[in-house]
Amino acid sequence: MGEQTVTSPAKTLREILTEDQELRARLIDVLQPQSHHKLSYEEFLNQIDEDTFAEWVDGEIIMTSPASVQHQNIKGFLESILRVYVEAHNLGVVFADRFQMKLAHTGREPDLLFVAHEHIDRLKSNYLDGPADLVVEIISPESIGRDRGDKFIEYEEAGVPEYWLIDPEREQADFYHRDTRGYYRPILPGTDQIYRSSAVRGFWLAVTWLWHPPQITRALRDLGLV
């Protein structure tokens, strides 16, 4: 006896139309731009950890690159002498190592920041809520646009009184003070190549130290600390 072929019943017009509508709905869902959820600062903090190189900009997570050896050497030197100086004179606190500074629309991680005692109330458990008194950014090839452009404007508008931009590749250091109208003005070192900070009272820096850092003890001795 031969094998019988079982044929399925023909689809009704209603079934065909229903499947067509479902297919169209799926296509529209794929092709239609998805609604983009912008992260709040709190959501951003919950999604990153201490080992993540990232900043928060207008609800977006912006990944940043690890620093070079030269970058780390300059940062380590500045952090050491600034921290000792600030603590010795009881001026405030110094932070580094990806500590967040939250401004109106951004959460940045400056290479170094100084917060004076009178603004310690801005410190939260894991970020600074508002501008630091001094921000230091060490420029890398991938960050030059942010440091000299976006961050320059953000820090100026947020009221960061003093901003240092250090470019190891060009061996160029630019120092800015915020004037009474709220604009950054460049402050040049003296003829002796000594820069004197206004945010960190009494602190001075030999610009040549940035490119050829002396031993920490020698720099501290020159600053009158040892």
What one-character-per-residue DSSP string does 54-104 give? EEEETTEEEE-PPPPHHHHHHHHHHHHHHHHHHHHTT-EEEE-SS-EEE-S
Give me the amino acid identity at 201: R
Bridge partners of residue 162, in order along the sequence: 134, 177
Q: Splitting the chain (226 residues) into consecutive groups of 10 residues, what average pLDDT does each group show?
A: 50 56 49 59 75 74 72 94 97 90 92 97 95 95 86 96 96 97 97 97 97 95 93
Domain 67-222 falls under CATH 3.30.70.100:
no
Inter-residue contact 115 to 133 (CB < 8 Å) = yes
pLDDT value for 64: 67
pLDDT value for 15: 59
Q: Model-level pTM?
A: 0.74
Domains in the chain: boundaries: 67-222
Cα-Cα-Cα-Cα dihedral sign, residues 80, 85, 87, 91 = negative
Among candidates 144, 143, 120, 124, which has minimal Cα distance to 133? 120
pLDDT value for 58: 78
Q: Enter the DSSP assignment of 188.
A: -
pLDDT value for 11: 58
